[in-house]
Amino acid sequence: MRFGVVGTGVIGAGWTTRALARGWDVVATDPAPAAEERLRLAVDRAWESARKLGVFPGADPTRLEFAASLEEVVSVSEFVQESVPEHESLKKGVHEAIDAVADPDVVVASSSSGLLPSHLQAGLRHPGRLVIGHPFNPVYLLPLVEVLGGSQTSESALERAIAVYEDLGMYPLRVRTEIEGYLSDRLQEAMWREILHLVNDGVATTGELDEAILYGPGLRWAGMGTNLIFHLAGGENGMRHMLEQFGPALELPWTKLVAPPLSDDLIDAMVEGTSLQAGDRSIADLERTRDDYLIAVMRGLKAHDVGAGRTLARWEERLHGVQQQRWKTGDRIPNPLELYACPVEPEWVDYNRHMTESAYLLAAGWATDKLFRYIGIDDDYRAGGHSFYTVETHISYRKEVGADAALRFTTKVLEVHAKRFRFIHEMYADEDHVASIEQLLVHVDTNAGRSTPIRPGPAAVLAEIAEAHRDS
């Protein structure tokens, strides 16, 4: 896939990073002075976060090409994402230029956060291919992208856009009705207006209002959103009881949806408040903190298969599937096996900015999963009532691992018996040998709850690996 990006500000740079992380080629353009330098710097800053979330084989920031003109980008791209500033006349002009050059089959998406697609496609030669693909910052981490078409958009263009976004590991939310602001921004705008009123009236500071969200509703929203949470608030009778109990409060003057005038005093209050919140942290510092906690939240949600965690699980399943090696008859068996590599995950890091000791075993567990799949122990095998249980583990810690290290594992099978086998993972951080993890596993009939001989297929592969590793 060659992914075209027109406009390389914050959003365009986010799209660029996301597509590069997928292992695609990206060709981008922006007429602003020094745009290429800023884009490459933005990708470099974001790449570590993208890597922590998971990048596909072949993913490399060097696969970014910066073109001198819009026409050059469009003529070679299979999908075009426009991310120029949110001015309708500017966007219309850009889409007219794209339309004049792009192959009629190429879908063109706009990152607009609120403009009507029917207005953007009016007068185009090929209006049916224009869609809205509204992402959320940081685009390279957050999965949501709102997808909608205008009055002339074809269903095939919408389906194609959704397929591309799903391939990028995103959650395409189909907006069924063309409406200004779409869905998420309309919800955010309502809260934003209330924030401005509360600051303008001297009721609360920006920091207090952020605390009112991040310590309470924000945590709930991450996995269930507003409506399902309010359904729970109604107890056993759900939303109906919630509305009966709290509905009368809707008649009270608790909110002011019309925004207050942006007076100099209000602007100063907002700037002063957020400056106090930021303290001495730079924008780059805040970006790193934001990215790390977003990854941690999504990984936490993944364990419960809800919200953005479910999207992340699908992304990782595809990623591991692409990376997975599986032994086939006649394959040469490497000595040692090299089946798994990963970054140090944010949740593995302690207060000293080192990988905590328990995380060594957790990371090694992923390496063991790769070994299982290599020998044929997969979901189907486990569904048949067969698995391995760990009965003994020895870890030798050789060196501390920094928060930003890249990990890789080598694996040797030491011995194989009818019902068990023993192996050792050697763990490396960058080029340093940091740990050895030796384990003894027993094969189990999970239905009967007892040990049982390893099934013939995996047993044969393990025997071949043990023989290949015997004299090393």
Report residues of the chain scoring pLDDT below 70: 322-324, 472
Return the pLDDT at 322: 64
157 and 248 co-located in one domain: no
Last-in-domain residue among 118, 153, 174: 174
Q: Cβ distance 200 to 173 under 8 Å?
A: no
419 with 453: CB under 8 angstroms? yes
Q: Are 157 and 105 in contact (CB under 8 A)?
A: no
**Domain count for the chain:** 3
Looking at the domain assignment, is residue 293 inside a domain?
no
Domain annotation covers residue 266: yes
Residues 361, 428: one domain?
yes
Residues 121 and 235 grouped into a single domain: no
Q: Are residues 115 and 167 in the same domain?
A: yes
Claim to verify: residue 57 and residue 140 sit in the same structural domain: yes
Residue 416 lies in a domain: yes
154 and 61 in a common domain: yes
- The CATH number for 350's domain is 3.10.129.10
Instruction: Please report the pLDDT score of residue 237 as a whole number.
Output: 79
**Pair (256, 391) in one structural domain:** no
Does a cis peptide bond (omega within 30 degrees of 0) precede residue 143? no
> Residue 87: which region, alpha, beta or left (left: phi > 0; alpha: psi -120 to 50)?
beta
pLDDT for res 235: 81
Query: Where would I find the H helices in 54-154?
Result: 70-76, 88-101, 117-121
User: CA separation (Å) from 292 to 46, 175, 218, 350, 405?
Assistant: 11, 29, 17, 13, 15
pLDDT of residue 31: 97
**What single DSSP character describes residue 3?**
E
CATH number at residue 231: 1.10.1040.10
CATH code where residue 62 lies: 3.40.50.720
Give a yes or no: residue 117 inside a domain. yes
Tell me which residue range forms the domain holding 126.
2-174
Q: Answer whether residue 441 is part of any domain.
A: yes
Report yes or no on whether pTM surpasses 0.75.
yes
For residue 31, report the phi and psi dihedrals to the nearest 5 degrees. Answer: -80, -5
299 assigned to some structural domain? no
Regarding whether 191 and 137 lie in a shared domain, the answer is no
Element (H, E) at 26: strand 25-29
Residue 412: predicted pLDDT: 97
pLDDT of residue 324: 64
3-state class (DSSP) for residue 390: strand
Tell me: do 168 and 190 sit in the same domain: no
Q: Please, are residues 28 and 8 in contact by the beta-carbon 8 Å criterion?
A: yes
Among 148, 174, 200, which residue terminates a domain? 174
307 in a domain, yes or no? no
Structure confidence at residue 231 (pLDDT): 86
Q: Which amino acid is at 396?
A: S
Q: Of 174, 199, 234, which residue is a domain's last?
A: 174
Do 348 and 407 sit in the same domain of this protein?
Answer: yes
Is 285 contained in some domain?
no
Give the span between the Cα atoms of 211 and 218, in whole angstroms. Answer: 9
SS3 259: coil
Residues 168 and 24 in one domain: yes
Give the C-alpha separation, 220 to 8, whole Å.
33
| Other C-beta atoms lying within 10 Å of the C-beta of residue 35 | 18
pLDDT value of position 22:
97
Same domain, 161 and 197: no
Long-range contacts formed by 445-448: CB under 8 A, 24+ apart: 445/385, 445/386, 446/382, 446/385, 446/386, 446/387, 447/385, 448/385
